[in-house]
Structure 1
Amino acid sequence: MDDFQEFLETALVTQQESIKAYTLDSGKVWLKKASERHGLWLYTPLKWLAKIFNLGAIMPVPNQGGSAAIQCEYNRIQQLKALGVSTPNVLALSKKGILLEDLGSQRQSKVKQLDQSLARCKDDIAGKLNLFTQAIQAIQHVHLQGGYLSEAFARNILVDKDTHFSFIDFETDPASVLSLHDCYVRDWLLYIFSTAYHFEFEQLSEASQILYRALLAEPQVYKDICKVGKRLNWVLRLNVSRVGNDGKRIQKCVLFLRYLREHGEVK
């Protein structure tokens, strides 16, 4: 630990990037450096939307930046580790930065972002649906332990060759502004928003059916996710295709949410 602490203190002096990978004798590590606090004004529009539509789950979770974000990262990693959730090992910590073991080195297995893995399954719909399903099960396992993620985007979910899942990026703590219930809803919304676009329009109903079946165990969470979807349904009336890929992503997310709601309405 002392060697890692010395490396952290030394590297912090010269590192310009907010996060950078290094290869040490022990393996690959990541150094996250305390950066400037994110301007809270950036979160104002989303905050007002959450209030207008009475959607607590989309209340923005500000990244406080600086030493507060570093301490948050450390605290959240330790919380999840205590629940048996796979997260990076903390090798060294200071107010100015945190040194994390690379999850590939940690697990002794090559890992990829779920985002990348889903993209690689472009022509393998069965493989894509299977990976999508297993990631859902991994998130659900976190919730069953009473835990929640910070930013449950597909890019922050790592998967190895044996389909074991790990989670990264904990500079924010949703529970600082949301109830535990809304933390769960938020996790699923971020997961949907970051994975739905990997499916073709005609595949969205089948993908949403998978999540619907998983959420039968969390009826109130399912209900509140559907509430968000219903209030965003007006997006489908817009010609979002005019704004390119971003518009198509939004359209797929809202359509996924509509299908998710419709599965529960079938008698």
Structure 2
Amino acid sequence: MTASDSSAFYQHALQQCLLIQTGLMQSHILTNGEKVWVRQAGARNSAWRYHLLKIAQKISGIHMLQPVPNLGGIPALQTEASRLRALASAGVRVPAILAQQPDALMISHIGNHNLEKEWKHCKHQPELLLQRWQLGLNAIEDVHKRKQYLSETFARNMIYINQDSIGFIDFEDDPLSAMTLTQCHSRDWLCYLHSGARLMQEFGVTIQAKELWHSVLHNQPNEVSSIVNKSLHKIRWMRHLKAKFYGKDTLKLAAMAGYA
């Protein structure tokens, strides 16, 4: 199949998928057996996407966890397409854009489950769990070395491909539109820690996970590590909060605070 035939195939497939799609983001199996994802432009921004960061920022006071403004709809779709192309051009593992129109985007499927699910799958195998924790750290570091940045770098937005590779999804907002590149990098680290510190604690590998975290952060530019460390010191007082009645949002930050 030539590039022209391939483009026409996916563009036609996008039209067919939209005829039966019921959600804003949905998977489809094409006639060639390929699994793809189609995102439609919503009428407005999906506020639920930012609930986690809003709560975390409000409780912690960490500016870097502030959600990035997102208008939703067609602008968000255009932002995602632009970010996917930029990241792919830099060599970052992200879904490929297969077809696009103003109000819809078809992208490739890059993996069956995210890093958070992989952590939970490995929770009874400490060495393997820590390898997967390190894999996430390495993947973010690699993105930054390529002069790129991510968005909401939670483990659920990091696709586990294999023991050597992580892919990234979900780019409806562009942090660089609201902050500097250094701040974007700092935000990536804080989002990752926010999504993983509590789980590492629950699975009994906090000490080792901290050592791996500090080893990687130590190798980051001083400007980045300084922002991350100052942010964590702001919530250091929370590290002793462990009772369940504090709620999961507070306990995630409390586990994160222990890395200060």
Is TM > 0.5 for Structure 1 vs Structure 2?
Answer: yes
Distance between the aligned counterparts of 1:73 and 1:193, measured in 2? 23
Distance in 2, matches of 1:172 and 1:247, equals 25
Structure 1 alignment gaps of length 5 or more: 105-110, 259-267
Residue matched to 2:207:
205
Equivalent AA in structure 2 for residue 71 of structure 1: Q
Matches within 5 A, 1:1-267: 1-24=7-30, 25-38=32-45, 46=54, 56-104=63-111, 111-200=112-201, 203-218=205-220, 219-236=222-239, 241-255=244-258, 257-258=259-260
* Deviation per residue, 1:125-149 (Å, 9 max, x gap): 1111111112111110100010001
Q: 1:123 and 1:116 mapped to 2: Cα distance?
A: 13
Alpha carbon RMSD of aligned pairs, Å? 2.5
**CA distance 1:233–1:216, shift in 2 (3 Å):** closer
Q: What stretches of structure 2 of length at least 5 have no aligned partner?
A: 1-6
Identical columns (%):
28
Deviates more, 1:246-255 or 1:57-66: 246-255
2 CA distance for matches of 1:57 and 1:248? 19
Distance verdict in 2 for CA 1:238–1:129, change over 3 Å? closer
Which range moved further: 201-210 or 170-179? 201-210
1:68 partner amino acid: P
> Alpha-carbon deviations, 1:191-214, whole Å to 9, x = none?
001111221365323212211111
Closer, same or farther: CA 174–91 of 1 in aligned 2, 3 Å: same
Distance 1:125 1:27, change over 3 A: same
Partner of 2:4: none
Report deviation, 1:101: 1.1
Q: Hey, what does 1:261 align to over in structure 2?
A: none
Indicate the SS of the match to 1:199.
helix
Maintained 8 Å contact 1:240/1:247: no
In structure 2, the CA distance between the partners of 1:7 and 1:99, relative to structure 1 (3 Å rule), is: same
**TM-score calculated relative to the size of structure 1:** 0.83
- 3-state secondary structure, aligned to 1:200: helix
- In the aligned structure 1, how far is the partner of 2:155 from the partner of 2:41? 24
Secondary structure at the counterpart of residue 170 of structure 1: coil
Summarize the Cα distance change of 1:60–1:240 in structure 2 as closer, same or farther, 3 Å threshold.
farther
Aligned length: 246
Any idea what SS the aligned residue of 2:210 has?
Answer: helix
Is the 8 Å Cα contact of residues 61 and 174 (structure 1) preserved in structure 2? yes
- Conserved 8 A contact 1:38-1:62: no
Contact in 1 for aligned 2:153/2:188 (Cα 8 Å): yes
